[in-house]
Amino acid sequence: MSVTFDSLTNEVLMNLAGYTLNQDRATYLTAAFTSLTSPSSSPLILSLHSTDNVGKGIIEINDELMWVDSFDRVANTATIAPFGRGYLGTTASTAAVDAKVTISPTFPRYSVKRAINDTIRAMGSSLSAIKQTTFTYNPAVTTYDFDNLGIVSILRMMWQDIGPSKEWIPIRRWDFDSFADVATWGSNSQTVSVYDYITPGRTVKVMYATEPTPLTNGTDNFENVTGLPITSKDIVILGASYRLLTFIDPARLSQTSPQADEIDAKRPFGASSTVARQLLALYTARLAEETQHQQSQYPARIHYTR
């Protein structure tokens, strides 16, 4: 089973529900809607299965947050405010009948996905995405251009020999320029100069390290899009979890009755910070393990520039 952006999000939400002992209240739509706005002259009115738990405030449908301005418990409808579509920076979208409606989500999917991508970007300082590209060798050309690949470092270069052995012969003399001259090669270009003897017309394979690519769509495959190994999936989940739990305690600060938090023995103030620190420690340990594993897979190789 492939790991997608949506499945990662669901796994993080499942873990966080266990950590907070809090199950979000939810209902579902009894009628689809296609509008992307909710103007005061013709507001969006949602038809819900139940409005027992609905009140003025935030609801979530798919990945969009909305602000409910009013509700009708007899007709089971909720009216969205003019400013309520795409609330808090989320993207307004349509929804089908039976779509889940979450009331005041503790961890909105939009925030979870943002935490996942923040973790993927942060992992790039320790763990690289390993990719490869090829080009055809021309004896009249020594320098070859890479466009928009974002190469951090070249791990290995090799070319395929002629004959039935199909051997890939290592290239030992090459020089990589990560900031190629813009006037010569154009913007966002990088170059590699090859100085070994290679049979003309043969394919040269370049294995390189680059920054992991954040996920965009819910169906994005984790390995294919980010370039990270599947063994790093748990690291992303741990990183996203500790980032989200860090802000639970500030959200529970009471401005009118601080005593209410003091007598809450089930979930004392500061408990989420303790869990977040534990998750951060697990995240750091797993990241170090995965980084060491990658370094053993792709050890540094000596090469010559001339």
Mean pLDDT of the chain: 91
pLDDT of residue 77: 97
Q: Look at residue 268 in the predicted model and tell me its pLDDT.
A: 60
Share of the chain above pLDDT 70, in %: 91
Q: Residue 256 pLDDT > 50, yes or no?
A: no
Q: Is the pLDDT of residue 255 over 60?
A: no
- Say whether pLDDT at 263 is over 60: no
Burial bucket for residue 112 (CB in 10 Å: 0-12, 13-18, 19+): buried
Which of 272 and 202 is assigned the larger pLDDT?
Answer: 202
Half-sphere exposure of 55 (CA within 13 A, CB side): 4
How many angstroms separate the CA atoms of 58 and 44, rounded? 15
Query: What was the pLDDT predicted at 45?
Result: 97
**Per-residue model confidence (pLDDT) at position 305:** 76
**Please, which residues bridge with residue 193 across strands?**
143, 175
Segment 127-145 shows an average pLDDT of: 95
Residue 83 confidence (pLDDT): 96
Q: Which fold has domain 23-105?
A: Elongation Factor Tu (Ef-tu); domain 3 (2.40.30)
Residue 290 identity (one-letter amino acid): E
Q: Which tens digit of pLDDT belongs to each residue from 58-72?
A: 999 999 999 999 999
Domain ranges, ordered by start, for the chain: 1-22+106-126+215-306, 23-105, 129-210
Total Cβ atoms within 10 A of residue 19: 17
Q: What would the pLDDT profile of 44-54 be if each residue is shown by its tens digit?
A: 999 999 999 99
Q: Band of the pLDDT at 234, cuts 50, 70, 90?
A: very high
Q: Is the pLDDT of residue 79 over 70?
A: yes
Give me the pLDDT at residue 166, please. Answer: 86
Q: Report residue 34's pLDDT band, with 50, 70 and 90 as the boundaries.
A: very high
The answer, yes or no, to whether residue 262 has pLDDT greater than 60, is no
| Burial of 170 per CB tally in 10 Å (0-12, 13-18, 19+) | exposed
Counted residue by residue, the chain has a size of: 306
The two tokens of residue 83 are: 């400013």
- HEC string of the chain equals CCCEHHHHHHHHHHHHHHHHCCCCEEEEECCCECCCCCCCCCCCEEEECCCCCCCCEEEEECCEEEEEEEEECCCCEEEECCCCCCHHHCCCCCECCCCEEEECCCCCHHHHHHHHHHHHHHHCCCCCEEEEEEEECCCCCCEEEEECCCEEEEEEEEEECCCCCCCEEECCEEEEECCCCHHHHCCCEEEEEECCCCCCCCEEEEEEEECCCCCCCCCCEHHHHHCCCHHHHHHHHHHHHHHHHCCHHHHCCCCCCHHHHHCCCCCCCCHHHHHHHHHHHHHHHHHHHHHHHHHHHCCCCCCECC
Nearest CA among 91, 142, 130 for reference residue 226: 130
